[in-house]
Structures are given as structure tokens and as C-alpha cells.
Structure 1
Amino acid sequence: MATYPELGLFIGGKWRKAKRDMPVVNPATEEELGRLPCASLSDLQDAIDAAEAGLQIWSGTAPRERADTILRAAGLMRDRQEEIAQAITAEHGKPLAQARLEVIRGAEFFEWDAGEAMRTYGRVIPAARGSKLSVHHHPVGVVAAFSPWNFPMSQPARKIAGALASGCSIVLKAAEETPAGAIHIVRAFEDAGLPAGVLNLVFGVPSEISEFLIPQPSVGLVALTGSTVVGRHLTALAARHDTRALMELGGHAPVIVCEDTDVDKAALSGAIRKMRNAGQVCTSPTRFFVHEVIFDRFVETFVKRASQTVVGNGINEGVEMGPTANERRIPVLTALVEDAVSKGAILRTGGARHGDVGYFFQPTVLTNVPPEAAIMQEEPFGPIAVLNPVANLDAAISAANAVPYGLAGYGFTNRADYIDRMIDDVQVGNLSINTLEASLPETPFGGIKSSGYGREGGAEGLDNYLTTKNVWHSAQIA
């Protein structure tokens, strides 16, 4: 195991400690990895001051120069892939192979947005002679960003990439449970020559940090990936100060499996993908609505593969699923299973804690779950799959849409008319057909309904970080 990084706050181009700290724990072994400094109000004020100074420098830097700096940093992250991946596995628990892929995905986010930095075009609008009309884009200001614990590297990367590509400075509060990914990103930008103050990293008490940062006059955007509850709170706080908000919130992804698909391939794909990251993915396929004529075979294949999932410490060879990220997930998952079974669901495999050490939960499959069970409305954010039969595509779409969330959805079919129906009627921001991959750096990612608003990635990804100015220049005084 590579050395776990020294933990610190990064403010104004310098690392610092703090009077308060908290432990970072390996969720597979429950051993302490390090002590994480918690920012004081004085530290947060320093971070805002530094970001305001950094904004003056970075917003005036040519887009090509900004892109070059971002690409240098991304290259360093690729070079340090193994070191970063080992740290992610230690603090999060995910298998090392998945952590390695996460490092590359994080680098890809930076590389895509570096290219977009050079394409933040304005435009000239045809006008009557004697007038010139043009549209210009400017950085929105300081970004106050908040990233979650489930992807320690790639989630901070999305926020930092969008801000820096657009010419903004940023104060990022990354997850206290999994700080190493963000720390390695900052190290890469420090080594790539990013000016001091452009990128600042803090940790601490989430409510203290959000309540201090969001009201600051220089903060032009609040960006969060997190739960719907937290997103609504931060959105309300931002609205009180007329501050723009970018929210990627919770999901409860449906999977529609039509009668014409390859049943075994769809079931195997679903069982493997559901257990990725121990189900701790906002786009994780969870509610499977399977045509009744293929339901029994689908269940048999799915349950067999899910029960064979190799669970253990992610650093060990052959492990497919690590622990949940923290102790508090175990009773929540247990309660969801018990509630579903008490209301008539069939527990096919799993349903309880796995082992005596670490925060492991068994790969779990429930079938024939009634709509009144809590898990049909609440995202489990763990390794639990729900498999229900449906009579036809209409019933599947109705069930898919019967939640307040709309982040990701999936469909398995080879029929063009079924695909068109799902494109038109499944209420999600990201729909995937015959694949359980929800997004790429070059595609816009975000939700509808209670899953948030705004997009990260794709050509739309920088829109939230830029303001638009219309200029009307008349040759004569009217």
C-alpha cells in the first residue's frame, strides 16, 4: 500500500493545519488513516480572500493558457494514477481496479473542460447599420463547491474542472470521510503552476462551511453533488442571496427490461453494475422492471451472479465489492430490507451485515416488492436491487416514473418503437439503452425533478460557470 497522503487545508497556495481535526478511517478495517484538519471561520475567511485575489488573476488569463495549466495537471494525475488509486481504496474501500478507473475518469473531466475553455465563444448578431450587437461570456465569480464521499477523485474533478476552465476561482469543501482524492488533485495543480488562490480546499463541519461561504458577495455559484435534502437546503440559502446554484442530487434509477432482450446478458450486466461501488452511486441501477414473460429467468440469473459477488477489502486481488463508506449505512440498509419483507417482498439473497470487521453489507436482491415499501421511494445508496415483474412497457414506464427523482434511467430492448417510447416518456436527465453507463465527460450530466438542475460535462458543462452579457453599440447617440 502506498503512503496515505498528509492531510491539510489548501488556502492561498499554501497547505495548513488547524486547531480542530477529525479521524479518517479505513471502512474495510476500521483503522485510522490520518487526522483531517477542520477549517475555522478564520480559515474560511482566508479562503474567500484568497479566492477573490485568485479570481482577478485567473479571469484575466487567456483561455489557452488556462487550458494548458489544466492539461498539465491532468497529465500529472495520470502519472500518479497508482498512488491516488491506493489512497482512494484505503479511505473509501472500493476495489483497487475501480479506483484506478476513477482516477482516469477524473483526468478525462479535466481534459474535456480544458478543450471547452477555448470554446467559450460569444457571437455577433446582425443589426441595423450604425449599430453593433454582440454577446460576451464572463466568469461567474468565486465558486463555492461541495463534493460527496462516494467518488473521492472524480466528483471533485467535475467541480474544479468547470470552474477553472471558465476562468473562475473556487473554494471546494470536499468530503471529510474521503479527502485524499481532492488533496491529490490540488497537489497536481500546485505542481502544474496554477496561481495561488485560484483553487482552495477546505474541510470541516459542513453546515458551518456552507453557511459562511454561500452568503459571501463574491460567490457567484454554489455547486453541489449530494442528497436532495442537502441540495434543497443549500439552494434555499443561495436563493436568499440571489446566488446561482448547480445541483446534482439523489436518484433512484429504474431499469426497464423488455421481453425482446437477451435475458441472461441483461441480468448479468445488471447484477454486476448494481454492486459497483457497493451500490453507492447516484446513477446505480436499483429498480428493475422486467417483463413478466422473462421475469423468472431474469431473477434466476441475476440472483446467482449477485450472490457470487466477491466482497472484501478493496486492496485484495479479486475483490469485486468493498464496504459501505461508513458505519451509519448498515442500519439504514437493514431497515429498508426488513420493511420490504414485512410488506410482502421476497428476500432472494443477502439482506444483512457481512462480517464482523468493517462496514460491509451483503449483496442483496429483493423481488416482488410492493409499491408501499419504503425502498420503492427511498434511494438505498447501497448494494440492494429490487426486481419486479411488469405486464408491458406502459406499466414499466409508469413504475419507473413513480418516484420524485429523475437522474438516470436504463432500458434493455432491441425494438426501435420501444426505444422511442422510453426516450419520450421516461422522466430522467440521462437515459441509457442496452448499457448501464450513465455518462461520459463529453456528455451533459444532471437530473430533473428532485434530482437537481444544471448540467456538468458536455458542451453545456460550462454554462453554469459563465455569465452572459449583451452589448449594443450604437455609432451615434440615439
Structure 2
Amino acid sequence: MYQSPVHFIDGVETAAADGPVIPVVNPATEERLGEVVAAGPAQVAAALQAAERGLQRWRAASPWERARVLRETGRLMREREEELALLLTLEVGKPLAEARAEVAVSAEHFDWCADEARRIYGLSLDGRSEGSRFEVRHEPVGIVLALTAWNFPINLASRKLAMALAAGCAVILRPAEEAPACIAALVRCCHDAGVPAGAVNLLIGSPEAIVTPLMAAPAVRKISFTGSTRVGQLLIRQSADTVKRLTMELGGHAPFIVLDDADVEEAAAVAVQTKFRNAGQVCTSPSRLFVARPVLEAFEHAVTQRTLQLKVGDGRSPGVGMGPLATERQRARSERLVADALAQGARLLCGGRRPPGLECGYFYEPTVLAGVPDTAAILHEEPFAPVMAIVPVADADEAVARANATEAGLASYLFTRSAERSDHVSNALEAGLVGINTAAVATPEGPFGGIKQSGFGREGGEIGVREYLNTKFVHRRGLK
């Protein structure tokens, strides 16, 4: 059922002859699924050379040909949805329903970018003298190093691949070591759809072996990274010597504001669904819930009742609403943050332990904490955990002040019935994404990204494709 993946270089699956062995573990059972021999200098050099050749082939393709290949990639992903979803569940642990949804939205990225590939418009205008013409052209930036995280491996890789390919770039993709097989299956979809050899290459291995030498390579012109702020800062420093273009999505600490005129049941339903999706391991997950005191008791009751209904277990089992955390490290983090909050006076409404009867796997109960004090670590660290932290506030102004009191600025959410309050709060929130009475802030047609230490640049929509283009100004005169 599970085949250990290999690297993909110059259109060919390529196994490394020797090197460190990376085990791949099922987080629901702690069983070893397989292993990968990590890429070394030979594979990195080969991938870079292949990308240089692939870039010339792919940038020469017409926009209509790029669109055809991108749309075919999306079609193949839908055709192979069950294979991709099962690999995703095996490697990351999320329920199959969530895995299928991830594959579906990932295919939409290719559909959207197929259309955008045909809409990379230039500009032409008269110059300042007779026979003079000004032109603005958009050209592919070149070779892209795409670095993705383990929590949404297919979706994150699809975003980067689809936009880079739409722009005519070549890509060297380095996925997280925890989820290599689902990405290998995605790359096969690209290849089978007609992406030319070398235009997409896959290297699996450590950052030291893959990222460090490619960061130093002048031929790599752009970095697209999704991950922690700490690693993002390191990449920014490493990019300076060769002045690489950067798109950085560096995580978040999303506020979820419920005002006193909100539909409490709707807010609670969205909070539970969004907080415990992928066991809370989502950069846009609501991690600080600021609730107006007049509706605090009703909201706490509603989220607790909904949370208690979630079934925890292996993502392949019917009816499971939340799977395990991806690693033992993530579970230990959850336990530490809950213990710290309780020690400082927070109240435990539900959860707060490893589920009884699940001796194997990195499981932790979906947890709701109320009355979380300002000093609790969970309000200052991005939790990436299935732990809801509720904080009472007096009004919208206090909620905004608390929401903005971190260096994170990715997603934010507001629940209110008032258009005036909606405008006031959404304008005041320091975040790249705002959901008003919804948590749907990541769509292929919308620009996704943060501000402050949540990064810069955007993925998605027309703006996302522009991130992979250079702008050239041409002044023509005296031509017949």
C-alpha cells in the first residue's frame, strides 16, 4: 500500500545510492511506513542542472500550452484523489475527509493558475518622441526553490508549483521530511500532465544538505517558503549574498473575536471546526479567542458541547473528526502549553489529556481552556495544537488591542452582525487575512499571506503569480 518515495530529477525518479536514511512514520500507529535515502551533493547538483535546462524549455512554452498542462495536472489530481488522500492521511494523520478536501482545493490552484497563465499582460504605450514606443514586459523570474511544511503538504506544494509554472519558472521542491510520498505523487501528476523534464524537480532530505547549497547558488533566483518565523529569518539572511526574491509565509497566532452582537452558535461552530481541523496544526487556526463578556458563558458552553462530540482516532476510521498530531514533539508541545495555562489559573472545560484507549499514536484530546491569563505561554507562542484558549474582553477596542499585541499578523477572525463594527475592527486588525463571520480566508483566487513577522509576499490569485515574474521596461525607437 505504501511505497517509499524517491527523488525526481530531470523527469526521472532517482534514488540516492547512499546517504542518511529518513524514516517515515504513521502518526496514528507509530509504525514505520517506509524510508527515504536522503539527497546529497550529487542529487542537488543534478537537480540544479536539470532545472536550468527545464527553465529554458518551459519558459519557451506558450501561455496556452502552460495553461493546458496546469489544467491537466488538476484533472489528474482529481482522478487520483483517493491515492493522494490516503498517502496524506498515512503520513500526516488527518482524517480522510480532510485529506480529500485538501486534494480538491489543491487541484483548484492548478485550475486557477491555468487561467492566470494566459493573463500575464504586458503594457505598450507611446513614447515621448515620434517613432518612440514604451513596453512593459513580464518574464519568469527563473529557478524557484520551493520549501513546504508538513501540515498541509499537498496544498502548500500545489500553491507554489502552480504559480511558478504559470509564470514560466522551473522549480526545485523540497518538502518536509515527514510527508514525502504524497508530494512525490503530486510531482508525478505534474510530469504525467506534460510538464517538461527539469521544470519540476523533487529533492527529499535535510535543510543542510539541500537548502544551504541551493541558497548559495546564483542560478536559484527565488525562494518560496512556508514555515516558522525562525527558519524564515535564517533564509532571509542566507538570501542576501545572491539577492534572491522571497515569498515568506511564516505562521501566525490568529485572533478570533466574538462581539456581544454575534450569532454565538454560528461563531462556536466555526471556532470548533477551524480550531480542531488537522488537530490544530494550521497556520491560520484561531489560537486566541477574545469573547465579549455578555456572550462569554453561552460561547463557552456551545464550544464545549461541540468539542465533546468530536471523535478522535486513526484518520482512516469512519466518523473520526480529529486525527493524531503529526509528531510526538507536537503532542509534547500541546501538553506543555495546557499544563502552563492551568498552573496559571485557566479553567479546563474539556480535554487536556491523551485519549483513553489510544495507547499508540500521537493523540491528544481536543481541549478547551477558559479564563486564560495574559501570562500563559499559549497566548504568546503559536500553539499549533488542538487547544482552544478563550479570553474574556469588555468590547471591540479591547479585543483589537489584544489581537494586535503580538508580532504575528497572518489570519484574524471577527463575528458580529454590525456592518459598522465589521468595518472598524477589520480596518484596525494588523493581519494579512480577515474573515468576517467566516473562517474561509485561503482560496486559490485570493492573495494569501501575512504582515509583520508572519512574512511578506502573497500566494494565490493574480497577485500570487506576479510574485514569480520580473518586470522589464523596454524603450524602442527608430525601428521600421
Q: TM class, shorter-chain normalised?
A: over 0.9
Higher alpha-carbon deviation: 350-359 or 221-230: 350-359
Deviation at 1:307, TM superposition (A): 2.4
| Structure-2 separation of matches of 1:364 and 1:37 | 38
Which amino acid is the alignment partner of residue 6 of structure 2?
G
Aligned to 2:265: 264
| Structure-2 separation of matches of 1:207 and 1:351 | 36
Higher alpha-carbon deviation: 183-192 or 445-454: 183-192
| Structure-2 separation of matches of 1:414 and 1:95 | 33
Aligned to 2:361: 358
Higher alpha-carbon deviation: 128-137 or 404-413: 128-137
| Structure-2 separation of matches of 1:169 and 1:159 | 11
Is the 2:263–2:417 contact (alpha carbons within 8 Å) kept by the matching residues of 1? no
Deviation at 1:377, TM superposition (A): 0.9
Aligned to 1:213: 214
Aligned to 1:51: 51
Per the alignment, in what secondary structure is the counterpart of residue 47 of structure 2? helix
Find the partner of 1:382 among 382, 385, 389. 385
User: Is the counterpart of residue 408 in structure 1 residue 398 in structure 2?
Assistant: no
Which amino acid is the alignment partner of residue 450 of structure 2?
G
Aligned to 2:396: 393
| Structure-2 separation of matches of 1:194 and 1:127 | 39
Deviation at 1:124, TM superposition (A): 1.4
| Structure-2 separation of matches of 1:330 and 1:219 | 36
Which amino acid is the alignment partner of residue 421 of structure 1?
H
Is the 1:7–1:183 contact (alpha carbons within 8 Å) kept by the matching residues of 2? yes
Q: Which runs of no fewer than 5 residues in structure 2 stay unpaired?
A: none
| Structure-1 separation of matches of 2:302 and 2:296 | 10
Is the 1:152–1:180 contact (alpha carbons within 8 Å) kept by the matching residues of 2? no
| Structure-2 separation of matches of 1:190 and 1:401 | 44
Per the alignment, in what secondary structure is the counterpart of residue 214 of structure 1? helix
| Structure-2 separation of matches of 1:347 and 1:253 | 21
Is the 1:7–1:37 contact (alpha carbons within 8 Å) kept by the matching residues of 2? no
Aligned to 1:320: 321
Deviation at 1:268, TM superposition (A): 2.2
| Structure-2 separation of matches of 1:381 and 1:473 | 54
Aligned to 2:5: 7
Aligned to 2:340: 339
Aligned to 2:65: 65
Per the alignment, in what secondary structure is the counterpart of residue 99 of structure 1? helix
Is the 2:84–2:186 contact (alpha carbons within 8 Å) kept by the matching residues of 1? no
| Structure-1 separation of matches of 2:231 and 2:339 | 26
| Structure-2 separation of matches of 1:165 and 1:446 | 19
Which amino acid is the alignment partner of residue 230 of structure 2?
V
Deviation at 1:133, TM superposition (A): 0.8
| Structure-2 separation of matches of 1:447 and 1:356 | 38
TM-score (norm 1): 0.97
| Structure-2 separation of matches of 1:446 and 1:405 | 11
Deviation at 1:182, TM superposition (A): 1.2
Is the 1:413–1:434 contact (alpha carbons within 8 Å) kept by the matching residues of 2? yes
Aligned to 2:375: 372
Between Structure 1 and Structure 2, how many residues are aligned? 474
Aligned to 2:231: 230
Which amino acid is the alignment partner of residue 128 of structure 2?
A
Higher alpha-carbon deviation: 204-213 or 344-353: 344-353
| Structure-2 separation of matches of 1:332 and 1:258 | 30
Per the alignment, in what secondary structure is the counterpart of residue 462 of structure 1? helix
Is the 2:333–2:385 contact (alpha carbons within 8 Å) kept by the matching residues of 1? no
Aligned to 1:470: 473
Which amino acid is the alignment partner of residue 305 of structure 1?
R
For residues 209-253 of structure 1, give each alpha carbon's deviation from its aligned partner in whole angstroms, at most 9, with x where no partner exists: 111111111111011010111111111111222111110111011
Is the 2:257–2:290 contact (alpha carbons within 8 Å) kept by the matching residues of 1? yes
Q: Which runs of no fewer than 5 residues in structure 1 stay unpaired?
A: none
| Structure-1 separation of matches of 2:269 and 2:46 | 51
Per the alignment, in what secondary structure is the counterpart of residue 464 of structure 2? coil
| Structure-1 separation of matches of 2:330 and 2:66 | 40
Is the 1:9–1:37 contact (alpha carbons within 8 Å) kept by the matching residues of 2? no
Deviation at 1:448, TM superposition (A): 0.3
Per the alignment, in what secondary structure is the counterpart of residue 411 of structure 1? strand
Deviation at 1:152, TM superposition (A): 2.1
Per the alignment, in what secondary structure is the counterpart of residue 15 of structure 1? strand
| Structure-2 separation of matches of 1:64 and 1:297 | 54
The runs of at least 4 consecutive aligned structure 1 residues that moved more than 3 Å come to: none
TM-score (norm 2): 0.97
Per the alignment, in what secondary structure is the counterpart of residue 328 of structure 2? coil
| Structure-2 separation of matches of 1:181 and 1:412 | 36
Per the alignment, in what secondary structure is the counterpart of residue 337 of structure 2? helix
Aligned to 1:112: 112
Per the alignment, in what secondary structure is the counterpart of residue 352 of structure 1? coil
Is the 2:254–2:287 contact (alpha carbons within 8 Å) kept by the matching residues of 1? yes
For residues 273-310 of structure 1, give each alpha carbon's deviation from its aligned partner in whole angstroms, at most 9, with x where no partner exists: 21110001000112111110000110011112112211
Is the 1:224–1:246 contact (alpha carbons within 8 Å) kept by the matching residues of 2? yes
Deviation at 1:323, TM superposition (A): 0.4
Give RMSD over aligned pairs. Answer: 1.2
How do 1:428-447 residues align onto structure 2 when only pairs under 5 Å count? 428-447=431-450
Deviation at 1:123, TM superposition (A): 0.5
Which amino acid is the alignment partner of residue 347 of structure 1?
L
| Structure-2 separation of matches of 1:129 and 1:464 | 33
Deviation at 1:69, TM superposition (A): 0.9
Is the 2:106–2:154 contact (alpha carbons within 8 Å) kept by the matching residues of 1? yes
Which amino acid is the alignment partner of residue 423 of structure 1?
S
Deviation at 1:371, TM superposition (A): 1.4
